[in-house]
Amino acid sequence: MSDYELAARLSYFLWASAPDDELERLASEQRLHDPAVLAGQVGRMVRDPRIRGIAVEFAAQWLHVKDFRRNREKNEKLFPTFDDKLRDAMFEETVRTFSGLLQSGRPARDLIDADDTVLNELLAKHYGIPGVKGAEFRRVEGVKKHGRGGVLALGSVLTQESGASRTSPVLRGNWLVETLLGEKLPKPPANVPRLPEVESDGEKSVRELTKLHTSVPECQSCHVRIDPFGFAMEKYDPIGRYREQDAAGRAVDVKVTLKDGTRFEGLDGLRAWLLEKRLKEIEKTFCRKLLGYALGRSVTLSDQPLIEEMVDALEKGGPVSGALVQIATSRQFRFHRGIEATREE
């Protein structure tokens, strides 16, 4: 690429906007192809407030909440507080959590294991977290004791992966398996029995009714993979509030057993299991999605060495922002595919 093309590509990757004066100047001096200069620019751009661009365009899309502010599918009678202001606050928490992760030089495990989040008074009240006053967003630490921290406890994710009037262990479990672990699941068969629309209808809980799907041969193979993860998140209602009882007053059961016999309880148990057993898969999925976003195409077999280098750096505790540098200085990012890259291959 020419230096001007590289300046544009880097700016739209990190900021989702046009290059600033410094990038234009470096392009005019033909210095951007120097890896050290590129790495320095990534560091500068991460520190800039415009890094919000990658949080909105990549992270929110990766987590399936890009259109969250348009979510008006909740039952208004059951959830009258789920209005535009609350939707905006939940989305803002998501965006600021990811941009803060980059700007603070934090490791990939904090995607799962963070003990802080970004709140204003409205969202803190929704979550039941005391001591946050005013409309301004600020980072609040020590939130695990309130059931928050990391992408698993984001109100936007928990709300998006629920029904209009009840939770959905299937949607939440499927989200975790596909979005975080990168596994592909087949579409459900057409004869899947429907669950009640309202959580308080009937004598059985959503969990008990969902478990009936495992008795259907066509459903069993997928549900034993995804449902336990959704059951672990059942203490969050359809708009992401922590609870001990469901809408019918039944105690919420979050004890789960995985297909291999592993047992844990609730979000804390799920977090610990993911960190111990599946963190590398989460890091690999994240790196693959990030690279695809940066290049504007699907990753291919020839990209695997770069992905492995990115995962290796994260595995060693390197900051998530380091993956941005590795991408920006890579051959895939600096060359047009099929011209110089193919010539050297």
What sign has the CA pseudo-torsion 89, 93, 95, 99? Answer: positive
Q: What is the pLDDT of residues 267-295, one digit of tens each?
A: 999 999 999 999 999 999 999 999 999 99
Residue 330 and residue 307 in contact, taking contact as beta carbons nearer than 8 Å = no
Lookup: tokens for 307: 């992905």
Q: What is the pLDDT of residues 97-123, one digit of tens each?
A: 999 999 999 999 999 999 999 999 999
Lookup: tokens for 84: 């535009």
Residue 294 and residue 306 in contact, taking contact as beta carbons nearer than 8 Å = no
Looking at the whole model, is its pTM more than 0.85?
yes
Bridge partners of residue 116, in order along the sequence: 141
What integer pLDDT is reported at residue 59 of this predicted model? 98
Concatenate the DSSP letters of all residues of 197-229 into one string: SSTTSSSS-HHHHHHGGGGSHHHHHHHHHHHHH
Our CA angle for 106, 107, 112, nearest 5°, is 105
What is the C-alpha to C-alpha distance for residues 233 and 267, in angstroms, rounded to an integer?
Answer: 6
What is the C-alpha to C-alpha distance for residues 69 and 297, in angstroms, rounded to an integer?
Answer: 27
Residue 111 and residue 270 in contact, taking contact as beta carbons nearer than 8 Å = no
